[in-house]
Structure 1
Amino acid sequence: MSNTTESLRRKIDSATDLQSVVRTMKALAASSISQYEQAVRALGEYARSVELGLSVCFRGSDAIRSMTAEAVNTKERALGAVVFGSDQGLVGQFNDVVADYARQTLTPQPQPLIWAVGERVHARLEDADLPLAGDFTVPNSVRAITQLVGQILAESEARLSQGEIGGLCLFYNRPSSGAVYAPVSQRLLPLDANWCRQLAERPWPTGNLPEVFGTGTTTLQALIREYLFVSLFRACAESLASENASRLAAMQRADTNIGELLEDLNMTFHRVRQGGIDEELFDVISGFEALPKR
């Protein structure tokens, strides 16, 4: 079917409306990247304070040795894993990348137990025949991350207390530069013995010597819980920043493609319109020449 000016005009209007939607999504994605990156930076100082508290608890105690022994005893238990993805599409290979990375890492583990954050990554993990314990909704703002972290902590602590899992690790995409991101993993529990020793050897930043109030075990447990909260919050925020960076890149490609399509449609429209005008002029000239001459 040949193009007419009316059909071309409808295509141009549809492409223009779609381009407007794409550019709005680009602006929203760019704004979201900024807020999640700011949340990660703001969390840095609090994370440093938690690590300093842990370094005090690890000094001159058998906490590191006990945790190392616990790690040995939990080797035969299933490993709990949280995989951060997205609920929405238009993010390129964002979910495929983190799901493949989690599958390759968890395949050697004996029956891992996985929680998916996001419907899209849940579907990818399900297609890979990985054992899923449940899923969580992806937060739509920085404030909503706290609620998600609380849900993950409650679920994982219940499984740990029941002996269903012996550890917890995270899988998520971390932004690097621009719209580039890379999948990373972080083991939260049991705590890494080398990391604990490094904290214990960290020098105190001031001349005032630290002191632990109350029982050392209670304080250590409270600080470990804060460490888990900080790690989960950071992982979720970095995953959301990567998701929006991927969406921004996808929308940029879509905007470029729509712009090229509009250029072709406008050129075709002007050519067809000019062709119609030429045909009308030829008809007028032919009609005039066909008139009988006086």
Structure 2
Amino acid sequence: MASLKEVRSRITSVQSTQQITKAMKMVAAAKLRRAQDNILRMRPYAQRLNSILGNLTALAGEDMVSEYAEQREVRRVLVIAITSDRGLAGAFNSNVFKGVNALLQDRYAAQAAAGAVTVLAIGRKAHEYFGKRVPLLGNYQHVFGKLSFDTVREAAEEAMEGFRAGQYDEVVMVYNEFKNVATQIIRTEQLLPLVPAELPAGAQATSNVDYIFEPSKEEIVRTLIPQSLKVQLYKAVLESNASEHGARMTAMDKATENAGELLKQLKLTYNRTRQAAITTEILEIVGGAEALAAGR
């Protein structure tokens, strides 16, 4: 049985840890509110932009050719893995690692075996994990320190330039989508080449929206496509940011509860140990008194 000093030391240590996890939970909750507001504002804009782009592309028909829609034999792949800069968020980062590994095994096994897979790691955890396994594109370890559209735009432009130059035949994103505080969903989305919108069987590529084009629909689409790709990546980063804070808040809440349960057990152990020590002392005193009485 542990000594009273050892049990007291463990109780003090667990109490300190509980205070830290409780504080981290409060910080994560404050950051989550801001991150959740950002992604809720971003989603309608991104969806509307994609809708407009789809309508314009449908109106343009086969006359509209984009360098970002070129379908090529997939020999080289760029995977954009979005994680966090810090840990202590449960399975948040490891789920992204598993998602990328599953993608490479199921969809890009031949490219991975040939060493033709590159990762654009957004977040320090992704940079550290994939930097030991595959070639990396760029350095975006600390995007979330000062998260802004300009920072994410640089990453998107680097991926887009690589696709245009023929360095990559497909660009895929893997990230956590924010559903609620306790739930994050791993998403795998193809960024490049552009995937045509699926139409119902028998439907024609037409639009009911009547647009007035200035200067021309071709010029507008050429401008909208790069902007849409950048917004799509920025939205994925915002989803990941909100998911990170939700996952960390949940993890720290669970850690605080576990610390409370451990404290109950330690205090019970302390009381039992203290009671046993007192009982032992009483028995020693009684035994000594009886020995003195017998010697008289």
| 1:58 correspondence with 2:57 | yes
Q: For the structure 1 residues 277 and 245, does the alpha-carbon distance in structure 2 shift closer, same or farther, using more than 3 Å as the test?
A: same
User: Deviation of residue 264 (structure 1)?
Assistant: 1.5
Match for residue 119 of structure 1?
A: 124
The answer on whether the counterparts of 2:89 and 2:247 sit within 8 Å (CA) in structure 1 is: yes
Name the residue aligned to 1:272: 273
- Deviation of the 1:235 alpha carbon: 0.7
TM-score, reference length from structure 2: 0.80
Equivalent runs, 1:174-185 vs 2, <5 Å = 174-185=177-188
Which digits, 9 at most, give the CA deviation of each residue in 1:45-93, with x for residues without a partner? 3224423432453243246752499523x33552322111122222333
Once superposed, what is the RMSD of the aligned Cα atoms? 3.3
Show structure 2 runs of 5+ residues with no match: none
Q: CA deviation at 1:259?
A: 1.7
Equivalent position amino acid for 2:42 in 1: L
Given residue 271 of structure 2, which amino acid in structure 1 is its aligned partner?
A: H
How many residue pairs are counted as aligned between the two chains?
286
Percent identity between the two aligned chains: 24
CA contact (8 A) 1:167 1:189 kept: yes
* Residues 1:196 and 1:58: Cα distance change in structure 2 (over 3 Å): farther
What is the CA–CA distance in structure 1 between the aligned matches of 2:180 and 2:39, rounded to whole Å? 15
Matches within 5 A, 1:1-294: 2-62=1-61, 66-67=65-66, 70-72=69-71, 74-76=72-74, 78-106=76-104, 107-108=108-109, 110=111, 111-126=116-131, 129-140=133-144, 144-194=147-197, 201-204=206-209, 209-285=210-286, 290=292
Instruction: Please tell me whether the aligned partners of residues 61 and 205 of structure 2 are also in contact (alpha carbons under 8 angstroms).
Output: no
CA contact (8 A) 2:68 2:192 kept: no
Aligned counterparts of 1:103 and 1:245: Cα–Cα separation in 2: 24
TM superposition shift of 1:178:
4.5
Residues 102 and 279 of structure 1: CA distance in aligned 2, closer, same or farther (over 3 Å): closer
- On the 8 A contact 2:163/2:192 being kept in 1, the answer is no
Helix, strand or coil: the match of 1:61?
A: helix
Q: Distance in 1 between matches of 2:224 and 2:6?
A: 66
1:56–1:260: structure 2 CA closer, same or farther, 3 Å change rule? closer
| Letter aligned with residue 252 of structure 2 | M
The 1:81–1:160 alpha-carbon spacing in structure 2 relative to 1, beyond 3 Å, is same
Structure 2 residue matching 1:244: 3-state secondary structure: helix
Taking a change above 3 Å as real, the CA distance of residues 275 and 23 of structure 1, as seen in their structure-2 partners, is same
Change (3 A) 1:196 1:237: farther
Structure 1, gaps ≥5 residues long: none
TM-score (norm 1): 0.81
Q: Tell me whether 284-293 or 166-175 shows the greater mean CA deviation.
A: 284-293
Q: What is the one-letter code of the residue matched to 2:87?
A: G
C-alpha separation between the residues in 1 aligned to 2:30 and 2:182? 14
Alpha-carbon offset, residue 139 of structure 1: 3.6
Query: Measured at CA, do residues 177 and 44 of structure 1 come closer, stay the same or move farther in structure 2, by a change above 3 Å?
Result: closer
